[in-house]
Amino acid sequence: MSDRLAVLPQYLFPKKAINVFSGWVAGSAMGGVTTAIIRRFIRRYDVNMGEAVNPDPASYATFNDFFTRALKDGARPLADADWICPVDGAISQFGAIERDQIFQAKGHHYSTTALLGGDAALAAQFEHGHFATLYLSPRDYHRIHMPCAGTLRRMVYVPGDLFSVNPTTARGVPGLFARNERVVCIFDTARGPLALVLVGATIVGSMVTVWHGQVNPPRRPTVMEWLYEGAGEGAGEGRAVTLAQGAEMGRFLLGSTVVLLWPGKPGASGLQFNPDWAPGRAIRLGERMADSKA
Protein backbone atom coordinates (compact mmCIF):
# COMPACT_ATOMS: atom_id res chain seq x y z
CA MET A 1 0.00 0.00 0.00
CA SER A 2 1.34 3.46 -0.88
CA ASP A 3 1.92 6.02 1.87
CA ARG A 4 -0.76 8.26 0.37
CA LEU A 5 -3.34 5.48 0.59
CA ALA A 6 -2.16 4.53 4.08
CA VAL A 7 -2.87 8.04 5.41
CA LEU A 8 -6.18 8.51 3.56
CA PRO A 9 -8.27 7.53 6.63
CA GLN A 10 -6.65 10.41 8.57
CA TYR A 11 -8.35 12.89 6.24
CA LEU A 12 -11.69 11.35 7.20
CA PHE A 13 -11.28 10.84 10.96
CA PRO A 14 -12.76 13.50 13.30
CA LYS A 15 -9.27 14.29 14.59
CA LYS A 16 -10.20 17.21 16.83
CA ALA A 17 -12.98 15.23 18.52
CA ILE A 18 -10.53 12.36 19.05
CA ASN A 19 -8.07 14.80 20.63
CA VAL A 20 -10.69 16.21 22.99
CA PHE A 21 -11.67 12.73 24.15
CA SER A 22 -8.10 11.44 24.50
CA GLY A 23 -7.11 14.60 26.37
CA TRP A 24 -9.98 14.09 28.80
CA VAL A 25 -9.00 10.46 29.42
CA ALA A 26 -5.30 11.32 29.83
CA GLY A 27 -6.04 14.11 32.29
CA SER A 28 -8.61 12.26 34.41
CA ALA A 29 -7.78 10.61 37.74
CA MET A 30 -9.66 7.32 37.48
CA GLY A 31 -7.88 5.23 40.11
CA GLY A 32 -7.50 1.61 39.05
CA VAL A 33 -8.64 2.36 35.50
CA THR A 34 -5.82 4.87 35.09
CA THR A 35 -3.29 2.41 36.53
CA ALA A 36 -4.52 -0.32 34.16
CA ILE A 37 -4.14 2.01 31.17
CA ILE A 38 -0.62 2.93 32.26
CA ARG A 39 0.43 -0.70 32.79
CA ARG A 40 -0.95 -1.70 29.39
CA PHE A 41 0.87 1.22 27.75
CA ILE A 42 4.16 0.22 29.42
CA ARG A 43 3.81 -3.35 28.11
CA ARG A 44 2.68 -2.30 24.64
CA TYR A 45 5.53 0.14 24.07
CA ASP A 46 8.23 -1.45 26.27
CA VAL A 47 8.68 1.71 28.35
CA ASN A 48 11.80 1.67 30.56
CA MET A 49 10.44 2.68 33.96
CA GLY A 50 13.82 2.03 35.56
CA GLU A 51 14.91 5.47 34.36
CA ALA A 52 12.00 7.29 35.98
CA VAL A 53 12.24 9.14 39.28
CA ASN A 54 9.04 7.34 40.19
CA PRO A 55 8.98 3.82 38.64
CA ASP A 56 5.67 2.69 40.21
CA PRO A 57 2.82 2.83 37.65
CA ALA A 58 0.21 2.85 40.44
CA SER A 59 1.62 6.07 41.91
CA TYR A 60 0.56 8.27 38.96
CA ALA A 61 -2.83 9.93 39.44
CA THR A 62 -3.36 10.52 35.71
CA PHE A 63 -1.98 9.18 32.46
CA ASN A 64 -0.55 12.65 31.75
CA ASP A 65 1.43 12.49 35.01
CA PHE A 66 2.93 9.19 33.84
CA PHE A 67 3.48 10.33 30.26
CA THR A 68 5.46 13.40 31.33
CA ARG A 69 7.35 11.53 34.08
CA ALA A 70 10.68 12.95 35.20
CA LEU A 71 13.90 11.00 34.77
CA LYS A 72 16.43 10.24 37.48
CA ASP A 73 19.37 12.60 37.86
CA GLY A 74 22.14 11.47 35.55
CA ALA A 75 19.88 9.39 33.29
CA ARG A 76 20.72 11.71 30.38
CA PRO A 77 24.26 13.12 30.71
CA LEU A 78 24.92 16.18 28.57
CA ALA A 79 27.59 15.97 25.88
CA ASP A 80 30.25 18.64 25.56
CA ALA A 81 28.76 20.16 22.41
CA ASP A 82 27.52 23.52 21.17
CA TRP A 83 24.06 22.02 20.63
CA ILE A 84 22.82 18.89 22.36
CA CYS A 85 19.85 16.79 21.31
CA PRO A 86 16.76 18.24 23.07
CA VAL A 87 14.65 15.05 23.19
CA ASP A 88 14.56 11.28 23.18
CA GLY A 89 13.19 9.94 19.89
CA ALA A 90 14.30 9.34 16.32
CA ILE A 91 15.65 11.54 13.56
CA SER A 92 13.06 12.26 10.89
CA GLN A 93 15.26 14.50 8.71
CA PHE A 94 18.02 17.08 9.12
CA GLY A 95 20.31 19.15 6.95
CA ALA A 96 20.49 22.41 5.03
CA ILE A 97 17.53 24.69 4.36
CA GLU A 98 17.54 25.31 0.60
CA ARG A 99 16.72 29.01 0.43
CA ASP A 100 13.44 28.72 2.42
CA GLN A 101 12.60 25.06 1.74
CA ILE A 102 12.78 22.35 4.42
CA PHE A 103 12.97 18.71 3.33
CA GLN A 104 10.16 16.59 4.84
CA ALA A 105 10.38 13.29 2.94
CA LYS A 106 10.94 12.13 -0.63
CA GLY A 107 8.81 14.34 -2.85
CA HIS A 108 7.79 16.71 -0.03
CA HIS A 109 9.18 20.08 1.07
CA TYR A 110 7.61 22.95 2.97
CA SER A 111 8.64 26.55 3.58
CA THR A 112 10.06 28.16 6.69
CA THR A 113 7.41 30.87 6.35
CA ALA A 114 4.60 28.30 6.50
CA LEU A 115 6.19 26.52 9.47
CA LEU A 116 6.55 29.79 11.39
CA GLY A 117 2.92 30.80 10.99
CA GLY A 118 3.24 33.01 7.91
CA ASP A 119 5.82 35.43 9.33
CA ALA A 120 8.05 36.06 6.30
CA ALA A 121 10.37 38.47 8.13
CA LEU A 122 11.06 35.91 10.85
CA ALA A 123 11.48 33.11 8.30
CA ALA A 124 14.01 35.17 6.35
CA GLN A 125 16.43 34.88 9.27
CA PHE A 126 16.68 31.13 8.61
CA GLU A 127 17.15 31.21 4.81
CA HIS A 128 20.03 28.95 3.77
CA GLY A 129 20.36 27.82 7.37
CA HIS A 130 19.91 24.36 8.85
CA PHE A 131 17.06 22.31 10.28
CA ALA A 132 16.45 19.14 12.29
CA THR A 133 13.13 17.32 12.61
CA LEU A 134 12.97 14.96 15.60
CA TYR A 135 10.13 12.48 16.14
CA LEU A 136 9.02 11.34 19.61
CA SER A 137 7.34 7.93 19.62
CA PRO A 138 4.86 6.90 22.34
CA ARG A 139 7.54 5.05 24.33
CA ASP A 140 9.87 8.04 24.56
CA TYR A 141 10.48 10.53 27.36
CA HIS A 142 8.27 13.49 26.44
CA ARG A 143 9.91 16.49 28.02
CA ILE A 144 11.81 18.88 25.76
CA HIS A 145 15.08 20.47 26.86
CA MET A 146 17.23 23.32 25.61
CA PRO A 147 19.84 22.37 22.99
CA CYS A 148 21.91 25.38 24.09
CA ALA A 149 21.54 28.30 26.47
CA GLY A 150 19.01 30.81 25.19
CA THR A 151 16.78 33.75 26.02
CA LEU A 152 13.18 33.53 24.86
CA ARG A 153 11.95 36.46 22.77
CA ARG A 154 8.71 35.24 21.16
CA MET A 155 6.20 32.43 21.41
CA VAL A 156 3.63 31.96 18.65
CA TYR A 157 0.64 29.61 18.68
CA VAL A 158 -0.31 28.53 15.14
CA PRO A 159 -3.64 26.72 14.67
CA GLY A 160 -3.70 23.79 12.30
CA ASP A 161 -4.65 20.23 11.60
CA LEU A 162 -3.92 17.22 13.79
CA PHE A 163 -2.48 14.55 11.51
CA SER A 164 -0.26 11.87 13.00
CA VAL A 165 3.45 12.71 12.69
CA ASN A 166 4.81 9.17 12.31
CA PRO A 167 7.17 8.37 9.39
CA THR A 168 4.40 6.98 7.18
CA THR A 169 2.34 10.16 7.55
CA ALA A 170 5.42 12.32 6.91
CA ARG A 171 5.83 10.52 3.58
CA GLY A 172 2.13 10.68 2.72
CA VAL A 173 0.87 14.14 3.79
CA PRO A 174 2.32 17.15 1.92
CA GLY A 175 3.59 19.95 4.18
CA LEU A 176 2.74 17.94 7.30
CA PHE A 177 4.75 19.91 9.87
CA ALA A 178 3.60 23.26 8.47
CA ARG A 179 -0.09 22.31 8.48
CA ASN A 180 -0.42 20.73 11.93
CA GLU A 181 -1.09 22.82 15.04
CA ARG A 182 2.17 24.07 16.55
CA VAL A 183 3.89 26.31 19.08
CA VAL A 184 6.86 28.32 17.77
CA CYS A 185 9.49 29.43 20.30
CA ILE A 186 12.18 31.91 19.21
CA PHE A 187 15.35 32.20 21.31
CA ASP A 188 18.37 34.48 21.19
CA THR A 189 21.55 32.46 21.68
CA ALA A 190 25.27 33.13 21.66
CA ARG A 191 25.36 31.88 18.05
CA GLY A 192 22.31 33.67 16.67
CA PRO A 193 18.56 33.03 16.74
CA LEU A 194 17.13 29.56 17.25
CA ALA A 195 13.59 28.45 16.39
CA LEU A 196 12.27 25.53 18.41
CA VAL A 197 8.89 24.42 17.07
CA LEU A 198 6.62 22.00 18.95
CA VAL A 199 4.32 20.25 16.46
CA GLY A 200 0.97 18.84 17.56
CA ALA A 201 -0.53 15.60 16.28
CA THR A 202 -3.40 13.16 16.59
CA ILE A 203 -4.26 12.56 20.28
CA VAL A 204 -1.73 15.17 21.43
CA GLY A 205 -3.75 16.48 24.36
CA SER A 206 -1.78 19.70 24.72
CA MET A 207 1.60 21.39 24.58
CA VAL A 208 3.14 23.01 27.64
CA THR A 209 6.07 25.40 28.18
CA VAL A 210 7.79 26.03 31.50
CA TRP A 211 7.25 29.80 31.30
CA HIS A 212 3.62 29.82 30.15
CA GLY A 213 2.12 26.53 31.26
CA GLN A 214 -0.48 24.88 29.00
CA VAL A 215 -0.61 26.64 25.64
CA ASN A 216 -3.37 24.51 24.14
CA PRO A 217 -6.20 23.82 24.60
CA PRO A 218 -7.95 26.14 24.08
CA ARG A 219 -7.43 25.64 20.35
CA ARG A 220 -7.64 29.17 19.02
CA PRO A 221 -8.85 29.87 15.47
CA THR A 222 -6.08 32.36 14.64
CA VAL A 223 -2.37 32.87 15.23
CA MET A 224 -1.58 34.24 18.70
CA GLU A 225 1.73 35.73 19.79
CA TRP A 226 3.46 36.48 23.11
CA LEU A 227 6.52 38.74 23.31
CA TYR A 228 9.20 38.41 25.99
CA GLU A 229 11.55 41.31 26.56
CA GLY A 230 13.84 42.61 29.30
CA ALA A 231 16.88 41.13 30.94
CA GLY A 232 17.69 38.63 33.64
CA GLU A 233 16.22 35.29 34.54
CA GLY A 234 12.53 34.91 35.17
CA ALA A 235 9.25 33.79 33.71
CA GLY A 236 6.06 35.37 32.58
CA GLU A 237 4.68 37.19 29.60
CA GLY A 238 6.50 40.43 28.92
CA ARG A 239 9.71 39.38 30.66
CA ALA A 240 12.61 37.57 29.03
CA VAL A 241 13.06 33.93 30.02
CA THR A 242 16.65 32.69 30.10
CA LEU A 243 17.25 28.94 30.15
CA ALA A 244 20.52 27.02 30.44
CA GLN A 245 21.62 24.29 28.07
CA GLY A 246 19.85 21.09 29.10
CA ALA A 247 17.12 22.87 31.07
CA GLU A 248 13.54 21.76 30.47
CA MET A 249 11.64 24.15 28.19
CA GLY A 250 8.39 22.26 27.60
CA ARG A 251 6.59 18.98 27.20
CA PHE A 252 4.00 17.15 25.13
CA LEU A 253 0.91 15.66 26.74
CA LEU A 254 0.83 12.86 24.16
CA GLY A 255 2.82 13.25 20.91
CA SER A 256 4.84 14.38 18.81
CA THR A 257 7.64 16.18 16.83
CA VAL A 258 10.13 19.00 17.37
CA VAL A 259 11.57 21.04 14.47
CA LEU A 260 14.67 23.18 15.06
CA LEU A 261 15.86 25.96 12.74
CA TRP A 262 19.27 27.64 12.69
CA PRO A 263 20.10 30.84 10.77
CA GLY A 264 22.08 31.10 7.57
CA LYS A 265 22.56 34.84 7.30
CA PRO A 266 26.06 36.36 7.08
CA GLY A 267 27.60 36.69 10.51
CA ALA A 268 25.67 33.76 11.99
CA SER A 269 27.72 30.68 12.86
CA GLY A 270 27.42 27.71 10.56
CA LEU A 271 27.11 24.28 12.10
CA GLN A 272 28.23 20.71 11.60
CA PHE A 273 25.84 17.94 12.61
CA ASN A 274 26.98 14.91 14.58
CA PRO A 275 28.58 12.65 11.92
CA ASP A 276 26.80 9.64 13.47
CA TRP A 277 23.39 11.12 12.71
CA ALA A 278 21.21 9.69 9.94
CA PRO A 279 17.45 9.72 9.19
CA GLY A 280 15.71 7.01 11.20
CA ARG A 281 18.46 6.79 13.83
CA ALA A 282 17.38 6.64 17.47
CA ILE A 283 18.49 9.63 19.55
CA ARG A 284 18.67 10.44 23.23
CA LEU A 285 18.39 13.69 25.12
CA GLY A 286 21.81 15.17 25.83
CA GLU A 287 23.80 13.50 23.05
CA ARG A 288 25.88 15.60 20.66
CA MET A 289 23.65 17.16 18.00
CA ALA A 290 25.86 19.76 16.34
CA ASP A 291 28.85 22.04 16.77
CA SER A 292 29.81 25.35 15.25
CA LYS A 293 32.03 25.17 12.20
CA ALA A 294 35.54 26.36 12.86
Angle ∠(199,116,27) on CA atoms, nearest 5: 30
> pLDDT tens digits, residue range 173-188?
777 788 888 999 999 9
> pLDDT tens digits, residue range 3-57?
555 555 545 555 565 556 666 666 788 899 999 999 999 999 999 999 999 999 9
- pTM value surpassing 0.95: no
Cα 156 from Cα 227, distance rounded (Å)? 9
Active site residue 256: yes
Q: What phi and psi values does residue 118 have, to the nearest 5 degrees?
A: 90, 5
Query: Is 161:129 a contact under the CB 8 Å cutoff?
Result: no
Query: Is 183:209 a contact under the CB 8 Å cutoff?
Result: yes
> pLDDT tens digits, residue range 226-265?
999 764 444 445 677 999 999 999 998 876 899 999 998 6
Cα 280 from Cα 103, distance rounded (Å)? 14
Active site residue 269: no
**283: helix, strand or coil:** strand
Is 170 exposed, middle or buried (CB count within 10 Å of its CB: 0-12, 13-18, 19+)? buried
Confidence (pLDDT) at 163: 66
Confidence (pLDDT) at 235: 43
Percent of the chain's residues with pLDDT above 70:
81
> pLDDT tens digits, residue range 133-176?
999 988 899 999 999 999 999 999 999 877 666 667 667 677 77
Residue among 82, 145, 164, 212 flagged as catalytic: 145
Active site residue 145: yes
Instruction: Assess whether the previous peptide bond of 256 is cis (omega < 30° from 0).
Output: yes
> pLDDT tens digits, residue range 49-81?
999 999 999 999 998 899 899 999 999 999 999
> pLDDT tens digits, residue range 96-142?
999 899 998 777 889 999 999 999 999 999 999 999 999 998 889 99
Query: Is 197:259 a contact under the CB 8 Å cutoff?
Result: yes
Q: Which of 39, 58, 42, 280 is nearest to 139 (CA)?
A: 42
Give the mean model confidence (pLDDT) for residues 195-217: 84
Instruction: Assess whether the previous peptide bond of 159 is cis (omega < 30° from 0).
Output: no
Query: Is 271:219 a contact under the CB 8 Å cutoff?
Result: no
DSSP string, 190-238: TTEEEEEEEE--TT--EEEETTTEEEESS--SS-EEEEEESSSS--STE
Residue among 88, 100, 119, 140 flagged as catalytic: 88
